[in-house]
Amino acid sequence: MPAIRHVTFSNGASVAALGQGTWFMGDSPADAKKEVRALQLGVDLGMTLIDTAEMYADGGAEKIVGKAIAGRRSGVFLVSKVLPSNASRRGTVAACEASLRRLGTDYLDLYLLHWRGSYPLAETILAMNTLVEQGKIRLWGVSNLDLDDMAELTEQATGGLVQTNQLLYNLSRRGIEYDLLPWCRERNVPIMAYSPIEQGRLLDDRTLVRIAERHGATPAQVALAWVLRHPDVIAIPKASSEAHVRENSASLTVALTAADLSDLDLAFPPPRRKQALEML
């Protein structure tokens, strides 16, 4: 298995380009042990970035992650998110502290605003800076912010410290390529792509199936390889079984050709104009 390429944030921190998402984990106690094993296997295979959020299963996903990283915290790059309804100066700190308790750790490597809400961005930034000063988080970023929001964010005092923007990005959701991805690239703000295989809805596409057959791969592996073709994009697919984790990991062996990429552009055309930011 080839080594996982790394992506470097503007502060110099380096993370695995292929990580693990946890959306929809923690919903069923019957699945907990399987989910913990899947996350641990992913870490063993080098997918050491784990992304979660207080919203997922009302904190249940964070508890699953806490079990998975027990005894191996130093080998994991841990990401969580604050809900917009909690993103006031005091609320952000309180939400982070609650996440840390569920995760069984005393710090997050990266803490994100899940999407923009009613609290001013400047207030959330102040809270993030407070958490950094307290040692409760190392870095902060955002999720689901479009170009106008990012421009406003970076105009704030210390807003330029934003490290990433986590966005919906996959073959069928390419809108960010028109303006947001280039804008972030120019400012060394890597993108973290969630739902990189569109929660499985892409996998019956004829073009994906045909390209997968060319490479002796699965359609999911081709879809992941397509997202990972960018040197500054991190993919965080969710896998709740060990078999699925191994499938995701094996996407690193898929080297898409120019012909493959051309076929995918025909099947999933890149944007020709500004599109509204999409969220799931």
Contact 19, 194 (CB under 8 A): no
The one catalytic residue in 56, 111, 119, 194 is 56
Neighbours of 228 (CB within 10 A): 22
Q: Which two tokens stand for residue 242?
A: 């060990």
**CA pair distance 25, 28, nearest whole angstrom:** 8
What residues pair up with 166 in beta bridges, in sequence order? 143, 192
75 burial (CB, 10 Å; 0-12 / 13-18 / 19+) is: exposed
Residue 96 three-state SS: helix
Query: Which residues, at least 6 apart from 171, have a Cβ–Cβ distance to it below 8 Å?
Result: 198, 202, 205, 208, 223, 226, 264, 267, 268
- At 176, list the tokens: 């960010």
* CA–CA gap between residue 202 and residue 272 (Å, rounded): 21
Q: Is 56 a catalytic residue?
A: yes
Closest CA to 226 of 164, 154, 158, 177: 177
Element counts in the chain: helices (H) and strands (E): 10, 10
Q: Of 257, 190, 201, 280, whose CA–CA distance to 230 is shortest? A: 190
Q: Which stretches of the chain are DSSP H helices?
A: 32-44, 60-69, 89-103, 121-133, 147-155, 180-186, 206-215, 219-227, 242-250, 258-267
- The tokens describing 49, both together, are 């970035």
Residues marked active site are found at: 56
